[in-house]
A and B are shown apart, each in its own frame.
Chain A
Amino acid sequence: MDARNLTMFYVKLLLFSFISCPLFAAQDNIVLVTEKNTSALSKLVSHLSNISPQFNYHVSTVENPASIGLDDYVIAIGAKQAVHADLLKYPKRIAVMLTAKQAESADVASSIFIEPPLARQLKLAHLLIPGSKKLGLLVSNDDDKNRIFTTLTAAEQQMLQVINVEDYENINQALFHVLKDTRLLLGHYDNRIYNAKNIKNILMTSYRQQKVLIGPSRAYLKAGSFSTTFSDLSHIAQRIIDVVEHHKKSGHWLKADYNPHYRILFNPQVARSLNIRVLDEVLLQQKMGEK
């Protein structure tokens, strides 16, 4: 969105607020707090407005801080905002766009994690590349493994061949062992492993062995990962409304969790090159929903 469109967006937002305020004076405010404005933020507000127009939406940035009432729902966008001292006085704080690990240190009422849950990624991987061999999973250390395993059932844990990177001299050796006798590499959100430095090695090595990387998230799909589940802005907006409405109705907060709303994404170039025929997304979604 260019500057002119952004200006028009604010004009519309102000007009909407101005016109609607007298009519719905009792409406709750939802204030989205972020460091700077982006086109994605505009899209998020737009989705929120479409899903639930009964709320008033405001945007507060460092450059243009909004006035926030103590009863307003404050949506802290990003890990930095989730721990920002200025927001601590607002009790209805919901953190979004942060990882489950970052959320552990966030002092908020509820959180919506940015990454997909590993159990869901595992299920997707198993549907896309069926087989009897295990799925390879790299972890940084034993603590990570334990933390990950708490999110998985015993059956899901059995499906994994877990390799601890710390046990090897370098990532290449760990990769060799995790890809050996496994059918694919299941990525999880850990940027000590899946970072810009390592991702080339990881992708080239797995691709060379005709094995795909599933996940960890959408950003890796662009690099060459094969598929992932992904919560886009409309899904995040939907979950924000879920959390807010649940609180409004029950007075209780939904626990910090992964976003249950998602879609499945593929890298079609990788699928074509490895000759993987992908099931229809609707069929996949249906199978994903099956217990």
Chain B
Amino acid sequence: MTRLLLSIVLGWISVAAMSQDTDLDGFDSQDYTDDFGWEEESMLGEALPMVLTASRLKQPKAEVPASVTVITAAQIKVWGARTLPELMKFVPGMFVGHADDENNASLAYHTSNPNIMRRLQVLVDGRSVYKSAIATVIWDDIGLAIEDIDRIEVTRGPNAALYGANSYLGVINVLTKHPEDSQGSLVSWRKGNKGTQDVHFRHGLTFDSTSLRISGSVKADEGFDGRDATGSDELRDGRKHGFINAYVNHHLDESSSLDVQIGYKSGKTEMRQIDFDQNPPDKTTKNGYVYGRWQKEFSAQHQSHLQMYWQKEDRQQGKNVCVPTLALDSDLAQLHSQNSVWADIVAALPSLYADSSDIQNIVGGLQAGAFDPSTMVGIVESVTGNTIAITQQDLDLTQVALANVPNLATNFDETSCGNTDIDLAEQRIDIEWQDTMRWSDDLRTVSGLSYRQDSADSETYFNGEVSNDTWRAFLNAEYRVGNWLTLNAGGMYEYETHNDSAFSPRLAANFLIDAQQSIRLVVSQAVRSPDLLESQPEFIVNVSNLETNYLDLSRADFYQKNVVEEDEEALVQEKITSYELGYFVAGHLMGTNTEFDIKVFHEEMRDLISDPITLQATNISNDNEADVDGVEFQLSSRLNSKHSIWLTYSYLDVDNRYVGNKLSAEEITSVEKLERRLSSENSTVASWMYTDAAWSASLSYFNQDSRHITKPYERYQLNIIKPIVIAGINAEMSYYIQHNRQPKEPLNYSNQIYSSPNIYYAQLSLEF
């Protein structure tokens, strides 16, 4: 059925495009370049400069060497989305979910582990907001108002040739409105259920050659309604974040300009209370950035920019914990480094038996050295059901650890309370020089050099400060072979101090059927570099201000640690090779203005690191692979001056596997499931948009099948906007409602459920 639909759509558009339209090259360029100077001389007084030169103009969509989805400010407004991840749901092949115990939205293009959103590059005006200490993108930490976005360009597929490492599955490039396009003042207030309450203001002004935009926002909601055993809304995933930023553009002279951006953001995110926590470990984040870009146009054919930014983030996440005193024993820590599975069982012994006399018998026997390894393996198997390896050396060390417990009967299950934190400070300095050169009518290059320093400071994760320097050189060339073929070739070479060097190439051929219709072949490769925690972990949790305990410690390390030993094999870069065959057409179809893009693809992901670095993780490796095949299309059609539609579909066949030899069958099943957990085999988005001076509206429908996720996902959303005038001020009222089918069934993890099917909010905006 899908195939039939596609063939019909393709057929219609192609025929329409071929029959009604003409190739622009049919117009003679001499028509406006011949020697006819009367107008310039007698009317204008001087010749006009060529402003929209080839280096300024964007690459035509039919010649873009990738599949790209562009979401415009007008669509953002009419869809009524209030967060970036919500907008990403409209992108074919893009899946939005959440990690376990996390309230940060997790995105994956095609397939990825929801617990770590680390395979997509996200840029805001050229500044990477991808975090490097623990690779991820925290959407709430991006100080950006949805109202300030001009457009979002999503490159669907690897694009490391242009953007570098971590542009692995794709690139989300958010471009904010130029200050000149944000004049006047805007104040908006949004209020809805689920604790939704947002306030936003913006003011823009221009002087002679300078324009400025100041924007600020506070955004809050309560997140999911999932609950623990208490039955109430105990899943702490609410958030409240605010920011203020400024964007200044200054025209230095006729050929150069300077952009400066500065921003500060602060916010609190509620975190779920787990394990030994005595209070919720809510996260407070403060970050700031300074960004500058100097652009110079040396000639109509040659343009360059120098871009620099500095950004710093400080995350405070402290908590009070109560842990078994034994877990703070340095001898148990040594046992953990020797046999982590056995050490975890020793630490958990108090909870393994219901009867304390059983515990004392086992612990007493271990303390006395009464068990040999095979006996102990048998006991563990009978209690846990798992067969583990235990050596005599392990038992000897256990005996040493337990010898520290005075009066075993009363002290073995003693707990000690204290303070700990997972505070983290991150900093990035990035400098880039980019040069765009048009060598001839047919050949254009974009090249550049850049340097980036990522550093992080955390006693818990790194036992201090760590950093990684990256040097990059890139070159991309576009060559037009007549009017029928555009070739793109390019690559980026990266040298890192703590990871292997990498070269990420891309080759593309766009066969132009006409100016607005092409078939493209793209082969590209990219890598994801291990983050600072993956490459230099010293993950040690220190508990301070301890209450009185039998070890007589006021400060101690938790026995579990994740530290790379010298002889341990380092993690290497994840690699992807993508093959894509695409067809694009923009044309007139039965009176509509339509853009259609379809691609079939094959992706080979290798050396995947499927698990995040945690205290408990003992087998982090590059031993995972995935092959992804599929097809996806995107149809955007303006039916007439008021109505338009947006339709996307994605089919995915994910074949992922563990290729190492360290995991049990159960663990392999778990890790393989993890890499597919966000994705559906079939997913569809359909949206109708109506725009008129009197009112605007959109009605959208989302559907994902339940092949890999826990339930079929279906959602409708409606947004209505009504312009009004209040006391002479232009205003807009809007109402958004989202209806989820089966809201009480979780999407990715059990606690991610809503108590009611509807999410709604109303908004009032004043513009003056």
User: Which A positions have Cβ atoms within 8 angstroms of B?
Assistant: 38-40, 77-80, 97-99, 114, 130-133, 169-170, 172-173, 175-177, 179, 189, 191, 195-196, 199-200, 203-205, 207-210, 217-224, 230, 232-233, 265-275, 277-281, 283
CA A204 – CA B211 in complex, angstroms? 14
Q: How far is the CB of B34 from chain A (nearest CB, A)?
A: 8
Q: Mark B702-720, 1 if CB is under 8 A from A, else 0.
A: 0000000000000000000
14 pairs, CB–CB < 8 Å, chain A vs chain B: A132-B692, A173-B183, A173-B206, A176-B181, A195-B46, A196-B48, A196-B49, A203-B52, A204-B52, A222-B50, A232-B31, A268-B515, A278-B21, A281-B22
Q: Given A272-B515, A280-B21, decide whether A223 and B50 contact each other with a Cβ distance below 8 A.
A: yes
Contact B42–A218 (Cβ < 8 Å): no
Contact A191–B60 (Cβ < 8 Å): no
B593 — which chain A residues lie within 8 A by C-beta? Answer: 130, 277
B48 — which chain A residues lie within 8 A by C-beta? Answer: 196, 199, 219-220, 222-223
Q: Given A132-B692, A199-B48, A203-B51, decide whether A266 and B24 contact each other with a Cβ distance below 8 A.
A: yes
Q: How far is the CB of B293 from chain A (nearest CB, A)?
A: 15
Contact B183–A217 (Cβ < 8 Å): no
* Closest A residue, CB atoms, query B175: A208
Contact A281–B588 (Cβ < 8 Å): no
With A38-B37, A79-B42 known, 14 other A-B pairs at CB within 8 A are: A79-B43, A132-B641, A170-B207, A175-B180, A199-B51, A200-B254, A208-B150, A218-B39, A219-B44, A219-B47, A222-B33, A273-B60, A280-B22, A281-B22
* Closest A residue, CB atoms, query B73: A209
Q: Given A196-B48, A275-B61, decide whether A172 and B206 contact each other with a Cβ distance below 8 A.
A: yes
Contact B72–A210 (Cβ < 8 Å): yes
Contact B180–A205 (Cβ < 8 Å): yes
Q: Of B20, B44, B72, which contacts A196 at CB under 8 A? A: B44
User: Which B positions have Cβ atoms within 8 angstroms of A?
Assistant: 17, 20-22, 24-27, 29, 31-33, 35-40, 42-54, 56-63, 72, 150, 178, 180-181, 183-184, 206-208, 211, 254, 515-516, 586-588, 593, 595, 640-642, 691-693
CA A202 – CA B43 in complex, angstroms? 19
Contact A266–B254 (Cβ < 8 Å): no
Q: How far is the CB of A204 from chain B (nearest CB, A)?
A: 7
Contact B59–A273 (Cβ < 8 Å): yes
Q: How far is the CB of A183 from chain B (nearest CB, A)?
A: 9
* Closest B residue, CB atoms, query A183: B641
Q: Of B37, B49, B52, which contacts A269 at CB under 8 A? A: B52
CA A51 – CA B207 in complex, angstroms? 54
Contact B61–A221 (Cβ < 8 Å): no
Q: How far is the CB of A62 from chain B (nearest CB, A)?
A: 15
A-B contact count (CB 8 A): 174
CA A224 – CA B39 in complex, angstroms? 16
Q: How far is the CB of A104 from chain B (nearest CB, A)?
A: 15
B43 — which chain A residues lie within 8 A by C-beta? Answer: 79, 98-99, 114, 189, 191, 219
CA A204 – CA B50 in complex, angstroms? 11
CA A175 – CA B181 in complex, angstroms? 9
A205 — which chain B residues lie within 8 A by C-beta? Answer: 178, 180-181
Q: How far is the CB of B298 from chain A (nearest CB, A)?
A: 15
Contact B49–A200 (Cβ < 8 Å): yes
A217 — which chain B residues lie within 8 A by C-beta? Answer: 39
CA A179 – CA B207 in complex, angstroms? 18
* Closest A residue, CB atoms, query B691: A132
B29 — which chain A residues lie within 8 A by C-beta? Answer: 268
A274 — which chain B residues lie within 8 A by C-beta? Answer: 58
**Most chain B Cβ neighbours within 10 Å, of A131, A170, A172, A223:** A172
Q: How far is the CB of B416 from chain A (nearest CB, A)?
A: 61
Q: Given A38-B37, A170-B206, A270-B57, decide whether A277 and B44 contact each other with a Cβ distance below 8 A.
A: no
A221 — which chain B residues lie within 8 A by C-beta? Answer: 32
A281 — which chain B residues lie within 8 A by C-beta? Answer: 22, 26-27
CA A274 – CA B211 in complex, angstroms? 25
B53 — which chain A residues lie within 8 A by C-beta? Answer: 224
Contact B51–A223 (Cβ < 8 Å): yes
Contact A230–B516 (Cβ < 8 Å): no
CA A224 – CA B48 in complex, angstroms? 10
Contact A224–B180 (Cβ < 8 Å): no
Contact B49–A268 (Cβ < 8 Å): no
Q: Given A270-B57, A275-B516, A278-B21, decide whether A207 and B181 contact each other with a Cβ distance below 8 A.
A: no
Contact A172–B515 (Cβ < 8 Å): no
A176 — which chain B residues lie within 8 A by C-beta? Answer: 180-181, 183-184, 206
* Closest A residue, CB atoms, query B16: A277
The 5 A-B residue pairs with the shortest CB-CB distance in the complex, in nearest-first order: A224-B52, A268-B24, A132-B641, A272-B60, A273-B57
CA A132 – CA B515 in complex, angstroms? 27
Contact B58–A204 (Cβ < 8 Å): no
Q: Given A130-B641, A199-B49, A275-B586, decide whether A172 and B180 contact each other with a Cβ distance below 8 A.
A: yes
Contact B52–A279 (Cβ < 8 Å): no
Contact A265–B27 (Cβ < 8 Å): yes
B642 — which chain A residues lie within 8 A by C-beta? Answer: 132
Q: Of A97, A132, A204, A224, which contacts B38 at CB under 8 A? A: A97
Q: Of B21, B31, B62, B208, which contacts A265 at CB under 8 A? A: B31
Q: How far is the CB of A95 from chain B (nearest CB, A)?
A: 12
A97 — which chain B residues lie within 8 A by C-beta? Answer: 38-39, 42
B641 — which chain A residues lie within 8 A by C-beta? Answer: 130-133
B37 — which chain A residues lie within 8 A by C-beta? Answer: 38, 40
* Closest B residue, CB atoms, query A271: B24
Contact A269–B57 (Cβ < 8 Å): yes
Contact B36–A233 (Cβ < 8 Å): yes
A283 — which chain B residues lie within 8 A by C-beta? Answer: 20
A223 — which chain B residues lie within 8 A by C-beta? Answer: 48-52
Contact B38–A77 (Cβ < 8 Å): yes
Q: Given A191-B43, A199-B49, decide whether A269 and B32 contact each other with a Cβ distance below 8 A.
A: no
Contact A196–B27 (Cβ < 8 Å): no
CA A222 – CA B32 in complex, angstroms? 6
Contact B180–A272 (Cβ < 8 Å): no
Q: Of A114, A204, A266, which contacts B39 at CB under 8 A? A: A114
Contact B595–A275 (Cβ < 8 Å): yes
Contact B27–A266 (Cβ < 8 Å): yes
B184 — which chain A residues lie within 8 A by C-beta? Answer: 176
CA A280 – CA B588 in complex, angstroms? 12
B587 — which chain A residues lie within 8 A by C-beta? Answer: 277
* Closest A residue, CB atoms, query B584: A275
CA A210 – CA B153 in complex, angstroms? 14
